[in-house]
Structure 1
């Protein structure tokens, strides 16, 4: 019994170390996860409302993403753990979830999957690079002054396009701009916006001031 009692505090030590900002970051991740579940439900039932719910959860994730940073600064509780949590949550909500929404909306050709996979890979790479170079990019103020490449939450713009398509019924075979065959595989031209977004995220020449 005494041995189990000694193990219990260590078992819960990670959760106890979470700050308020970390819990808000987890809310961001849960929004992205909820969007994935809604896309799966849409694919099962073909009810457009589920695709719209998935799209609506991404702006909510962005709200939590902004809020966690403000709370961390307000409470002076910024940490390496919080930064890693934020990156992982962003990968789910602004990388994987938008790609899944696009797939659910009808971008299911093999070329579409290649592009969507590229988009997610760019998002992961962009966040990893930021975490590694954040210390180098800090100025005298101790804050990162600019982003190299567009931040991954800019994928919200892609989600707005998908939401508009879902709202107007332009999903599946009715997806805007149709599709083309390139070799044996199918490509929906609309998916190219994900290729552009991913490429902008990993750009090293594009510098965006960080608020």
Structure 2
């Protein structure tokens, strides 16, 4: 009697290349940053903001390394590209938005802008994935980016790190707050609006 084959647990892991493990480390750092901000909101210990911000820095290091390892081993895959995009949206999209929210950008207008920032990051990654082949030209590497790469959100994270270090969080956020229509906007959140707009722009940035 022939029994159907049962897939062994973790069979998909065999399909991973070495670079994919660095990509997963990127995602784990992003998730760790989210957990750190949740803890900050529970215990109000500023050290957890520091942890969250430095975990995003670690995510960027792993993001750079996964590309270098892939080129060194000359092994890339469609799954690896999609995995990289999913990790990036966690670490450089969702995590910076949650750090900003935890630091005090919690008004209705703030939330709309932060959600738009993440949506721009998702759109930027999707556009890159579907146009990467056409951007390579005659070579095998992408020559330029259309719109700023999503890891540039690290600049925003560093702004929040400095703000936390100086005690400029919650009610002491830089530039204060404004109210109109009965809802609150913290002007600092406009940096996220600018970053999101640049990500979905058609401005060409050379790839270094």
3-state secondary structure, aligned to 2:167: coil
Q: Kindly indicate whether residue 115 of structure 2 is the aligned counterpart of residue 89 of structure 1.
A: no
2:15 corresponds to: 17
1:210 corresponds to: 207
Aligned ranges 1:4-153 → 2 under 5 Å: 6-9=5-8, 11-153=9-151
3-state secondary structure, aligned to 1:147: strand
1:183 corresponds to: 181
Partner Cα distance (1:156, 1:137) in 2: 25
3-state secondary structure, aligned to 2:56: helix
Q: Kindly indicate whether residue 173 of structure 2 is the aligned counterpart of residue 171 of structure 1.
A: no
Once the two structures are superposed, residues 93-133 of structure 1 have per-residue CA deviations (whole angstroms, 9 ceiling, x without a partner) of 00000000000000000000000000000000000000001
Equivalent of 2:191 in 181, 193, 201: 193
How many equivalent residue pairs?
Answer: 208
List structure 1 segments (4+ residues) > 2 angstroms apart after TM superposition: none
- Once the two structures are TM-superposed, the CA of residue 138 in structure 1 deviates from its matched residue by 1.1
- Once the two structures are TM-superposed, the CA of residue 140 in structure 1 deviates from its matched residue by 1.2
3-state secondary structure, aligned to 2:174: coil
Partner Cα distance (1:21, 1:3) in 2: 36
TM-score w.r.t. length of structure 1: 0.96
- Once the two structures are TM-superposed, the CA of residue 8 in structure 1 deviates from its matched residue by 3.1
**RMSD, aligned α-carbons:** 1.3
TM-score w.r.t. length of structure 2: 0.97
Q: Which runs of 5+ in 2 are unaligned?
A: none
Partner Cα distance (1:63, 1:109) in 2: 32
Partner Cα distance (2:194, 2:29) in 1: 25
- Once the two structures are TM-superposed, the CA of residue 12 in structure 1 deviates from its matched residue by 3.1
- Once the two structures are TM-superposed, the CA of residue 33 in structure 1 deviates from its matched residue by 0.1
3-state secondary structure, aligned to 1:169: coil
- Once the two structures are TM-superposed, the CA of residue 3 in structure 1 deviates from its matched residue by 4.2
